[in-house]
Chain A
Amino acid sequence: QMQLRESGSGLVKPSQTLSLTCAVSGGSIASSSSWSWVRQAPGKGLEWIGYVYQSGTTDYNPSLKSRVSLSLDKSRNQFFLKLTSLTAADTAIYYCVRSPRTAVEKAIDRFDPWGQGLLVTVSS
């Protein structure tokens, strides 16, 4: 069974850069799936950040596009998130997720599975 696990710094200062890693086990990141990050501010709803595909193709939420970068490393079966110029509004639980792309004409369909989530707090 596929599992995803986030890792990285849980406390980041304002204006700094957040770097997170998602380790994938039980399946290959080089499959036909796509790999996304989703975040959830405390007590709030879900916000899709962006996705990366095995080819390196990416797409981002326009609300974050100027500050976000996703990449992957097939040799380590991991994918990564970088988010720059952090503010308190970026405080959230960050989830890494897979989209199996059963509907292959879509870059993303459902999100399954999800990582356990990593709380990132932006504070000085």
Chain B
Amino acid sequence: DIQMTQSPSSLSASVGDSVTITCQASRDIGHHLNWYQQKAGKAPQVLIYDVFKVQTGVPSRFVGSGYGTEFTVTINNLQPEDIATYFCQQYESLPITFGQGTKLEIK
């Protein structure tokens, strides 16, 4: 199985800040990487797919990058509605695996 390791596991930032979450794959997954946002009590929703493609309806403040084994999602101009847990997911090979999640809080 491909292991996905996210860092940090939690972070706190202020409105207007930029924050970056990192996801590392245990082996090369090319561009086969997606990011999800999960708000409290809700199902996850796809934010970014194929590393950098922003899902329809998602603000352009969310920016994905990376290739191979190292990936990041940056949230620019942090807003209160961005409070959530973020997960990465690889689809290079089965079984599909997710990162353990990064919980984002607003100071």
Contact = CB atoms under 8 A, between A and B. Distances in A.
Interface of A: 36, 45-48, 59-63, 95, 103, 106-117
B43 A107 contact: no
A64 to B, nearest CB: 9
Given A45-B99, A107-B94, 18 more contacts: A46-B44, A46-B87, A46-B89, A46-B101, A59-B94, A61-B96, A63-B95, A103-B50, A108-B91, A109-B32, A109-B50, A110-B49, A110-B50, A110-B89, A110-B91, A111-B34, A111-B46, A112-B46
B40 to A, nearest CB: 11
Contacts, number: 62
A106 B32 contact: yes
* Chain B residues touching A, majority SS: loop
B98 interface: yes
Contacts of A113: 45
Contacts of B55: 112
B45 A114 contact: yes
A48 B97 contact: yes
Highest count of chain A CB atoms <10 Å: which of B45, B89, B94 = B94
B49 A116 contact: no
Interface in B58-107: 87, 89, 91, 94-101
A41 to B, nearest CB: 12
Contact of B94 (A47, A108, A110, A112): A108
B87 to A, nearest CB: 6
A108 B100 CA distance: 20
Nearest to A60: B95
A109 to B, nearest CB: 5
30 contacts: A36-B96, A45-B98, A45-B101, A46-B44, A46-B87, A46-B89, A48-B96, A48-B97, A61-B95, A61-B96, A62-B1, A62-B95, A63-B95, A95-B43, A95-B44, A106-B32, A106-B91, A107-B94, A108-B96, A109-B49, A110-B34, A110-B89, A110-B91, A111-B36, A111-B44, A111-B46, A112-B49, A112-B55, A114-B45, A115-B43
